[in-house]
Amino acid sequence: MAKFTFVKNNQTTNLHTLKEQQMKTIRTFEDYREAYDHSTRDPEGFWEEIAQEYQWQQPWDKVLDWNFDEPSIKWYSGAKLNITENMLDRHLKERGNKLALIWEPNDPKEKFVRLTYKELHEQVCRFANVLKKNGVSKGDRVCIYMPMIPELAVAVIACARIGAVHSVVFAGFSAHALADRINDAQCKLVITSDGLFRGAKEIPVKRVVDEALESCECVERVIVKERVGWLPNMVEDRDVWWDDEIKEADRDCPPEPMDAEDMLFILYTSGSTGKPKGVVHTCGGYMVYTGYTFRNVFDYRESDIYWCTADIGWITGHSYIVYGPLLNGATTMMFEGVPTWPDPGRFWQVVDKYGVNQFYTAPTAIRSLMAHKIDHVLSYSLDSLRVIGSVGEPINAEAWNWYHIHVGKERCPLVDTWWQTETGGVMISGIGNATPLKPTFAGYPMPGVQPVLLDGDGNEIQEDDVEGYLAIKHPWPSMLRTTYGDHERCQKTYFSAFKGYYFTGDGARRDKDGMYRIIGRVDDVINVSGHRFGTAEIENAINQNEKVVESAVVGYPHPIKGQGIYAYVICQDGGADEEILKAEITETVVEEIGKIARPEKIQFVRGLPKTRSGKIMRRILRKVAEGEISNLGDTSTLLDPKVVEEIISGADHVE
Ligand code: WTA
């Protein structure tokens, strides 16, 4: 294997002390308590103080204006800023030669890429000029469908530089799913690559874009970055190469002045009904909150190397690979590969190679590695690690312990960060070494976050050691402002279940110490390997298969993915081979959404358990999928109870 020497940051230490004096940093439980009390006593004063760390082109008139009924949420109204000025320009003087980004390729034999703040700044400015030259201006939507290569981060930041709204779509989504997202946001331009590497596989990315664009009239231009060296079909007058364009671009690009409440990006996510919705985040509040939470949750110190293994196609990658770290002048890593290739020691090899100090991943990755020999971990030192983190789904006790003992060596705090695409940043979590750890508990709310547990009638449950619906009662700066093009949907989805609260869709437990443990979704959202899907979304996909009459989808516990997708399907009679039919239905889902949404189990049924009013009783389907048939609860309201017996007898039980 080729060896590349890696030289760590060699920053000046005086920066460290300087920054700490300027910034509010939580180091002890007392600091946390103080910050939390301040944030609830005087939320506006608290967030005003934090915001002062940043460079604003014009100050705000008012810190916060809000009501949760419409909803209307405005942070730092009247202020002007450009977030990229705070991620790049602001650091140039003191950190120009510090590493901003380290990129580790899929194949360990390929050379890594390192970009200093100066270099990243230059790349971003050049590419921002490329976007302008290709007709993009402030407010235009740009779709980014790319592998985890440095240009993905550059593209995201370049959009923000000129005030274009990025909509990153994870490069595992199908052409159909991509087209829906492009059309919903009416994107003018798409940025993509020829193909991508994922473990041992090579995947054609441009081909997916070409197929999607057959049904997207809004797209005028496609910029293609070469990654795998294939020669894709380049459509005349539409497609241009990244490398050709950037060569000629000017390195000077002033940051576009943005209102604090101007849109920064759209990110699509699934809910319990209908198509995925475009969650909208805005410039000012998102900047303040992601910057603050990054620094505190991960206890980031000036010369640390921080690595989050997420894909930038998800919110975790947006907030905690790109925005949060760069706002803090941190060194952030991007990883193109997968945890198990070329072997299950890949993560730990990378940690040792760069001396990673903060490592942030998902429980599903941990569980997939637990299934392999422990030697894959033990043959690396992992001495550099100081904080380890988890995100995306509840972490079960076995995974928590394995991660804490074998990776964190029982000396690193394991921060279990609960949050959502809609919340923009971490909401409930351990904070470095400052707050106590409790396995499987996310812990305490971040300063500025006021969680409550509600009962079914929307009353706040005051006692501790209880479970309830998790809602938030006061705005925080990075909360979603709307769902793109459909404000009513935002109101209905998040602000109408419980009047006066933002409803998360999660259930939670609060223990006697006031710490929170997230139980999981209480709505029709399934969380597969940390990826969200709506049951309706998958059912719609399955129903696209012409042999399908009706379907119902539920989640069930899966040992690695957290939840797996279990589909009950009614097909037309016709005596088709069940295995072939299953394969066809799976293929339909792959076409409609992508491989990540493939049902684990498909059971053919003759009927679905419905109430007299025609509503599917998912509770029953969930129990059957979990194999818990002895306790189906009340089935008296069913139209035809016989259906349930049939379903039970044909169930594909979980071992
Ligand atoms: C779940 C990911 C338990 C939760 C940042 C939430 C978690 C949904 C955790 C959001 C955690 C996320 N513990 N559950 N630490 N983190 N979730 O939008 O159900 O992809 O509502 O955001 O994932 O998923 P999303």
**What distance in Å separates the CA atoms of residue 50 and residue 4, rounded to the nearest whole number?**
40
Q: Is pLDDT at 653 greater than 80 in this prediction? A: no
Residue 575 confidence (pLDDT): 67
Query: Distance from the CA of 387 to the center of ligand 1, in angstroms?
Result: 20
Query: Distance from the CA of 418 to the center of ligand 1, in angstroms?
Result: 6
pLDDT, tens only, 64-82:
999 999 999 999 999 999 9
Residue 4 confidence (pLDDT): 42
Confidence band of 633 (pLDDT split at 50, 70, 90): confident
ipTM for the predicted complex? 1.00
Query: Distance from the CA of 112 to the center of ligand 1, in angstroms?
Result: 31
Lowest pLDDT segment from 203-212, 302-311, 603-612: 603-612
User: Are 432 and 296 within 8 A, CB to CB?
Assistant: yes
User: Are 185 and 143 within 8 A, CB to CB?
Assistant: yes
Ligand 1 pocket test: pick from 281, 420, 421 the residue with the most ligand atoms within 8 Å of its Cβ.
420
Q: Which atom of ligand 1 is nearest to the CA of 531?
A: 20
Nearest CA to ligand 1 atom 5: 420
Residue ranges lining ligand 1, Cβ < 6 Å: 269, 314-316, 390-394, 416-421, 442, 504-506, 518, 520-521, 527, 532
Residue carrying structure tokens 């999607």: 212
Confidence band of 2 (pLDDT split at 50, 70, 90): very low
Q: What is the mean pLDDT of residues 538-563?
A: 95
**What distance in Å separates the CA atoms of residue 423 and residue 626, rounded to the nearest whole number?**
30
pLDDT, tens only, 584-593:
999 999 999 9
Query: Distance from the CA of 417 to the center of ligand 1, in angstroms?
Result: 8
Query: Distance from the CA of 524 to the center of ligand 1, in angstroms?
Result: 14
Which residue, 340, 323, 242, 240, is CA-closest to 289? 323
pLDDT, tens only, 180-197:
999 999 999 999 999 999
**Backbone phi, psi, residue 180, to 5°:** -60, -45
Q: Is pLDDT at 10 greater than 50 in this prediction? A: no
Confidence band of 16 (pLDDT split at 50, 70, 90): very low
Q: Is pLDDT at 12 greater than 50 in this prediction? A: no
Query: Distance from the CA of 609 to the center of ligand 1, in angstroms?
Result: 30
User: Are 255 and 89 within 8 A, CB to CB?
Assistant: yes
Query: Distance from the CA of 519 to the center of ligand 1, in angstroms?
Result: 10
Q: Is pLDDT at 279 greater than 60 in this prediction? A: yes
- Residue 477: strand, helix, or coil: coil
Query: Distance from the CA of 391 to the center of ligand 1, in angstroms?
Result: 7
Mean pLDDT of the chain: 94
Query: Distance from the CA of 380 to the center of ligand 1, in angstroms?
Result: 30
Nearest CA to ligand 1 atom 11: 418
Q: What is the mean pLDDT of residues 558-580?
A: 91
Nearest CA to ligand 1 atom 7: 393
Residue 402 confidence (pLDDT): 98
User: Are 329 and 91 within 8 A, CB to CB?
Assistant: yes
pLDDT, tens only, 144-181:
999 999 999 999 999 999 999 999 999 999 999 999 99
pLDDT, tens only, 319-334:
999 999 999 999 999 9
Ligand 1 pocket test: pick from 518, 537, 563 the residue with the most ligand atoms within 8 Å of its Cβ.
518
Nearest CA to ligand 1 atom 12: 392
Ligand 1 pocket test: pick from 393, 515, 517 the residue with the most ligand atoms within 8 Å of its Cβ.
393
**What distance in Å separates the CA atoms of residue 331 and residue 354, rounded to the nearest whole number?**
11
Nearest CA to ligand 1 atom 1: 393
Query: Distance from the CA of 630 to the center of ligand 1, in angstroms?
Result: 30
Residue 272 confidence (pLDDT): 81
Give the neighbor-by-neighbor strand order of the sheet with 482-483.
239-241, 221-225, 189-193, 141-145, 165-168, 263-269, 277-282, 482-483
Confidence band of 273 (pLDDT split at 50, 70, 90): confident
Q: Which atom of ligand 1 is nearest to the CA of 442?
A: 15
Residue 179 confidence (pLDDT): 98
What the block records as the tokens of 76 is 């730092």
